Amino acid sequence: MPARRQAAGAYTMHTAYLTHPICQRHDAGPGHPESPERLSAIDDRLHAAHLHDYLTHFHHPPAATREQLARVHDTDYIDWVLSVAPATGRVQLDPDTAMGPHSLEAALHAAGAAIKAVDKVMVGTVQNAFCAVRPPGHHAGRRSAGGFCIFNNVACAAAHALATHGVQRLAIVDFDVHHGNGTEEIFREDGRVLFVSTFQHPYYPHCGADTVHENVVNLPLPAGTSGRDYRAAFEARALPALDAFRPELILLSAGFDGHREDDMAHFNLVEADYVWITEQVMDIASRHAQDRIVSVLEGGYNLSALGRSAAAHIKALAGL
């Protein structure tokens, strides 16, 4: 449960929910699928299910610092993003990724929320955490934006855990329907990090299927993949690799765009599949990581499906 019984009638919260109001002010343009309404859809669903009452809330996590960003992004890329961030209007970082007047601040606080969640989990304030943030991050590489992503939130959190909390083995599980190419680029030479990514292939960003690195487990799956086929692939490849790696902390790139109602891609997952993924990762975390999980929002663009799926994921994290 999000609230674990310790004595008759006594409960203690163990799942954190981190967000920041500036994340809803990032505006990529009219009709853009990565819209502010995404966070509202999650929040509304949590309220409807009365799940907020079972979570520990952190609504103003600090912005990521330059030092924290520079652990995963080249300094000239950071400087470029800072220099082109508009005071008015909108600029394109790539054909899919736009910045408005509030986008830089939102991106800094999105990365900062993931970093703060790692701090909370590692010191034992909470057992796990979900970061409801935008813009997403897993397509941002060392020196590139892409796929709606400016800074790589989960990578910043992972590097922070390695640099400041003495973590020696950390796993990142990316279940977004798109391959986490930025995260892979950042960590594929770092044996302290196991990167596991499930994704539709062939599909954007058109890479990952041929990766050969000891610390990368990519699971390219075809369009039309069902929940049953997804689970079979995850059980066959991802879970044994995670168990053998024995991570001390698990980070999730939590994308819900594989839902059958989301027309951004062509998987056929439903809420129960996201619950199953969450529970499998929680089992690994229970055995090796003292239950420590930080989940960071990535994709999910059908608002109803996103709200329901994220709420189901958070409910599972909370043990309800």
**β-pair partners for 204:** none
Which residue is catalytic, options 20, 109, 139, 288? 139
Name the residue among 158, 144, 112, 127 with its Cα closest to residue 18: 112
Q: How far apart are CA 14 and CA 27, in angstroms?
A: 32
Active site residue 139: yes
Q: How far apart are CA 319 and CA 291, in angstroms?
A: 12
Residue 99 is inside which H or E element, if any?
A: strand 97-99
How many of the other CB atoms lie within 10 Å of CB of 180? 34
How many of the other CB atoms lie within 10 Å of CB of 8? 5
Please compute, for residue 29, the number of CA atoms within 13 A of its CA located in the half-sphere on the CB side. Answer: 11
Q: In the block, which residue shows the tokens 């996201």?
A: 274
Q: In the block, which residue shows the tokens 């391959």?
A: 179
Phi then psi dihedrals of residue 269, to 5 deg: -80, 160
What the block records as the tokens of 31 is 């009709």
How many of the other CB atoms lie within 10 Å of CB of 77? 18
Kindly give the residue spans of alpha helices, DSSP state H, lying in 66-136: 66-70, 75-84, 103-122
Cα distances from 99 to residues 25, 150, 279, in angstroms, run 11, 9, 36
Query: Does 33 sit behind a cis peptide bond, omega within 30 degrees of 0 on the bond before it?
Result: no
Residues annotated as part of the active site: 139
